C-alpha cells in the first residue's frame, strides 16, 4: 500500500456535528491502523457561511476527543498552509491552467439569469444545469468583457457522453456518465474557489492517498476525476461512507443528527462512549463486539468492514453504551468529570471519600453525568419533606422504626456492609414490619425520599454520626 495520507476537511460554519465526527474518526482510525498521517484542513472558502471562532472550536473538539492530527492548523506540516483562504494563489494558478487548456471558461451570467434559466428548465421537465451560453462567446467578446472587469465565474467544461469508471473501496466498481453533470463553477466571482476545485488541488498538493467522505459526494466524483485528468494528476482512492439514518431509516434529521458533538458532551455523554458509538455507525469488527476503546479501534479498524448500507442512529443504544462506560471507567475519573454538574446545580461538594461513595452508587443506575449530581442531592442537599411526608413520619409505626434504628445503629466506624445487612434484617424481625412500612420511614428520615438506594448504601454514604443526627432530628415527642 502507498503511504496513507488522509484528511478531515470541515467547513468552519459552526460546531463539529456527528456526521463530521464519524468522517474524522474513520480518517484517524485508518491512519493510525496503517501507520499513515491524519491531516486537518479547514475549507473556509464559502465566506458567506463562515462563523468566527469555528476553526478554534473544531480543533479543540478533535483534541478533547483524543483525535490528534499530524498536520494542520496549529500543528504545522510540510504541505501547509492548512486553511484554504490562505491558499488562494494556488487555486488561481490551477484555474488559469484549465482556462489555457480549454478545460474551463469564464461565465458572465448574473444570478437573475441563472434563476430564470433554472425555472425554464424545470417548467420543461429538463435536468437543471447550466446551458453553456457563455461557452459560445467569441474569444474577442470574452476578452473585452474581462477587460471591462465584468463580474464572472470560472466554470469547468465537462465532456459530453463520457463515462467515468472508478473503484470505491466500500462500493466496489462504480460507473457514472456525464449526462447529468453540470459545468461546475470552479472559481466564484469573489475570487474564492468552490469545494470542487479547492479539494482536488489541495488533495493533490497535500499528497492525499484516500479521500474518505460522505455518500452525498459520490455524484460529484466524475467532476473530480475529470479535474484530475485535465490537470494531469493521478486521482486518490475513493471511500464514500454510508448515510446515517433515523430509526425509521429516513435520512438522519437535524433534530437528532445535527446536534453538535460539544452538545452531547455537555449533556453528559462520555467521549469514550461517543467515539465507540460513532465508530459503529457503519463499521463492525471481526467478532461483532460492541465495546471498544480508542486504542482497540485503531488496531481493529479496516475499510473493508465499513458497510454499504445506511447506519441507523439509535439514541437508546448510545444511552446504553454510555452507561457501560460510566461503570467501566475509573471511579475517580467519573467523579472528576461529574464535578461541573455539581457546580451547575448548586450542590455542595462533600469530602472526596464521600463523593466517591456517592459516585460509586450513582453510576450503577445513572446513564449521564448530570444524573450523578441529581442522585447526590438526597445526600448533600435534600429537599424539604412535604406535609404528607411529615405526617407519615409522625405516625406511631414510623416512629417505632426511627427510634429502633437510633437505639441500635452502632456509632463507631467503619461498619462493614455485612453487619449493616444483618442489622436491617434484625430490625425488620423485631418490629414485625416489612416492605414500605419499614423502609419508607427510614428513607424519609435519612434522605427525604420515599424511594432510593438500599439502606446499607445510605448508611455508608451518610456515615454513622450523621445518620444518628438525622434520626434524632425526626423524633416526635
| Catalytic residue IDs | 254
> How far apart (Å, rounded) are the C-alpha atoms in residues 47 and 249?
34
Grouping H, G, I as helix, E, B as strand and the rest as coil, residue 173 is strand
> How far apart (Å, rounded) are the C-alpha atoms in residues 286 and 324?
21
- Closest to 4 measured CA to CA, from 20, 28, 24: 28
- Write b or e for each residue in 454-476: b if 16 or more Cβ atoms lie within 10 A of its Cβ, otherwise e: ebbbbbbbbbbeebbebbeebee
- Closest to 143 measured CA to CA, from 111, 113, 112, 105: 105
DSSP 15: S
- Closest to 19 measured CA to CA, from 260, 247, 211, 194: 260
> How far apart (Å, rounded) are the C-alpha atoms in residues 87 and 190?
14
| End-to-end C-alpha distance for the chain, whole angstroms | 84
The Cβ-side half-sphere exposure at 68, using a 13 Å CA radius, reads: 6
Grouping H, G, I as helix, E, B as strand and the rest as coil, residue 155 is strand
> How far apart (Å, rounded) are the C-alpha atoms in residues 277 and 321?
7
Residue pair 211/221 in contact (Cβ under 8 Å)? The answer is no
> How far apart (Å, rounded) are the C-alpha atoms in residues 304 and 274?
22
Alpha helices, DSSP H only, in 210-289?
A: 221-231, 254-257, 261-266, 271-279
**Residue 70 C-alpha from the chain's centroid:** 20
Residue 272's CB is within 10 A of a number of other CB atoms, namely 21
Alpha helices, DSSP H only, in 232-330?
A: 254-257, 261-266, 271-279, 294-300, 315-328
Q: Angle at the Cα of 320 (from 318 to 322), degrees rounded to 5?
A: 65
Interhelix angle 271-279/18-34, nearest 10 degrees: 80
> Which residue(s) pair with 88 in the sheet?
none
Q: Which residues, in sequence order, are CB contacts of 95 under 8 Å at separation 6+?
A: 104, 154, 186, 187, 193, 197
Residue position matching grid coordinates 496549529: 74
> How far apart (Å, rounded) are the C-alpha atoms in residues 271 and 322?
9
Amino acid at each position: 500500500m502507498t503511504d496513507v495520507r488522509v484528511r478531515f476537511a470541515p467547513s468552519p460554519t459552526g460546531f463539529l456535528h456527528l456526521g463530521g465526527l464519524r468522517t474524522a474518526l474513520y480518517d484517524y482510525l485508518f491512519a493510525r491502523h496503517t501507520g499513515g498521517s491524519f491531516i486537518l484542513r479547514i475549507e473556509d472558502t464559502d465566506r458567506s457561511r463562515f462563523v468566527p471562532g469555528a476553526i478554534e472550536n473544531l480543533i479543540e473538539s478533535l483534541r478533547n476527543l483524543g483525535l490528534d492530527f499530524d498536520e494542520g492548523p496549529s500543528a504545522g506540516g510540510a504541505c501547509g498552509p492548512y486553511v484554504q483562504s490562505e491558499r488562494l494563489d494556488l487555486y488561481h494558478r490551477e484555474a488559469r491552467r484549465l482556462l489555457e487548456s480549454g478545460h474551463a471558461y469564464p461565465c458572465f451570467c448574473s444570478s437573475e439569469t441563472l434563476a430564470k434559466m433554472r425555472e425554464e428548465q424545470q417548467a420543461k421537465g429538463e435536468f437543471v444545469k447550466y446551458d453553456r451560453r457563455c461557452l459560445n462567446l467569441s474569444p474577442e467578446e470574452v476578452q473585452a468583457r474581462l477587460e471591462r472587469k465584468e463580474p464572472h465565474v470560472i466554470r469547468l467544461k465537462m465532456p459530453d457522453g463520457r463515462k467515468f469508471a472508478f473503484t470505491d473501496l466500500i462500493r466496489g466498481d462504480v460507473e457514472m456518465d456525464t449526462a447529468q453533470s453540470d459545468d461546475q463553477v470552479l472559481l466564484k466571482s469573489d475570487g474564492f474557489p468552490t469545494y470542487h476545485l479547492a479539494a482536488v488541488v489541495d488533495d493533490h498538493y497535500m499528497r492525499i492517498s484516500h479521500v474518505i467522505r460522505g455518500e452525498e459526494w459520490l455524484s460529484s466524483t466524475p467532476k473530480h476525476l475529470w479535474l484530475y485528468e485535465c490537470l494531469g494528476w493521478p486521482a486518490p482512492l475513493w471511500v464514500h461512507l454510508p448515510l446515517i439514518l433515523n430509526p425509521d431509516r429516513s435520512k438522519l434529521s437535524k433534530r437528532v443528527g445535527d446536534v453538535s458533538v460539544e452538545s452531547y458532551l455537555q449533556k453528559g455523554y462520555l467521549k469514550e462512549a461517543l467515539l465507540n458509538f460513532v465508530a459503529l455507525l457503519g463499521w463492525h469488527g471481526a467478532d461483532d463486539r460492541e465495546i471498544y476503546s480508542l486504542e482497540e479501534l485503531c488496531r481493529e479498524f479496516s475499510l473493508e468492514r465499513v458497510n454499504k448500507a445506511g447506519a441507523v442512529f439509535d439514541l437508546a443504544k448510545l444511552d446504553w453504551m454510555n452507561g457501560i462506560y460510566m461503570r467501566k471507567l475509573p471511579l475517580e475519573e467519573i467523579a472528576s468529570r461529574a464535578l461541573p454538574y455539581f457546580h451547575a446545580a448548586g450542590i455542595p461538594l462533600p469530602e472526596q471519600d464521600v463523593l466517591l461513595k456517592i459516585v460509586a452508587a450513582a453510576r450503577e443506575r445513572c446513564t449521564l453525568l448530570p444524573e450523578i449530581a441529581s442522585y447526590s442531592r438526597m445526600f448533600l442537599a435534600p429537599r424539604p419533606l412535604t406535609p404528607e411526608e411529615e405526617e407519615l413520619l409522625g405516625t406511631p409505626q414510623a416512629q417505632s422504626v426511627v427510634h429502633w434504628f437510633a437505639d441500635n445503629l452502632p456509632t463507631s466506624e467503619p461498619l462493614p456492609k455485612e453487619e449493616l445487612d444483618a442489622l436491617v434484617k434484625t430490625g425488620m424481625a423485631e418490629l414485625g414490619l416489612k416492605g414500605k412500612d419499614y423502609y419508607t420511614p427510614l428513607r424519609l428520615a435519612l434522605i427525604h425520599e420515599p424511594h432510593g438506594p438500599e439502606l446499607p448504601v445510605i448508611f455508608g454514604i451518610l456515615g454513622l454520626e450523621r445518620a444518628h443526627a438525622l434520626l434524632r432530628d425526626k423524633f416526635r415527642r
